[in-house]
Amino acid sequence: MERGKKIKISRLLKLRLLFVNMDDFVNFGAFSYSKKLWHPLNAVLNEFDAGTGFDHRTSISSKFYAKYNLTGNKGFLPVHSGNWNSVIMAYIPPWGGGKVANPSNDFEHWIGPKTPEQIDNFLKHFHELYLKIKKEGYKPLKYKDGFLRVIILRNVRKTKFLIVGGLKRSSILSHCGYKKLWVRLQYPDKNYPGNMPSVVDVKDLDNWPNVINGLYTKEDAMAFFYEYFKEDNRNTFIIEN
């Protein structure tokens, strides 16, 4: 390899930058950003393009948040099946870290439940962001923390990139036709999302903190992890029928 290329690759690794296919991104709810598959925010963008869905009365997001929420549904989202999350919104993965979400946060948008007012606030913000990105494109160097941030999920055959910073932008960029994006591997930190490992490999399952402490059985941890590699009913969403 030429010396210049080695220096460039070394610098990219130091900056934790990765060039990733759009089809390999997933969000917390295990929805893919591939244009071939269904994503709740991309469905909202389709409504914007059609001139509809600008408030909770007409937006598909109302149906989505009513059906996909941490307080009332189990089995089709990667959430722990125990009782601890039956009354709180939480994302506590078996590999450690995560967060307890604030239900009053209008922009905790990947999952419900939501009030009509929260949905309206989110839709207004999301539409404004859509128009901005549609006009200027993806400019990660222009803004502080401008790169989408990810952690890596790796099984024996495939790798997925879980978006932990920039979920709304990711949907917009997918909707606008981007095929690949430069993203940044999340830096370790004591606070979420840096409290999760930067790289999660299923081979390390026995050493995941929430498996060791008994929050997850090994079987539940495995099932949780592999939700992110499925192309199943979440991508042929029933509320559109």
Count of structural domains, the chain: 1
Residue 64 lies in a domain: yes
> Tell me, what's the pLDDT at 8?
52
> What does residue 12 show for φ and ψ, rounded to 5 degrees?
-65, -40
Domain that holds residue 207: 17-229
pTM (2 d.p.): 0.86
> Tell me, what's the pLDDT at 113?
75
Residue 1 lies in a domain: no
Residue 206 lies in a domain: yes
Residue 10 lies in a domain: no
Residue 2 lies in a domain: no
The residue ranges of the chain whose pLDDT is under 50 are: 1-7, 9, 72-77, 79-87, 241
Query: Please, which residues bridge with residue 161 across strands?
Result: 25, 152
Find, among 23, 21, 85, the residue nearest to 235 by Cα: 23
Residue 32 lies in a domain: yes
> Tell me, what's the pLDDT at 155?
95
Residue 6 lies in a domain: no
Residue 236 lies in a domain: no
Residues sharing a CB contact under 8 Å with residue 32, sequence separation 6 or more, in sequence order: 23, 25, 26, 39, 231, 235
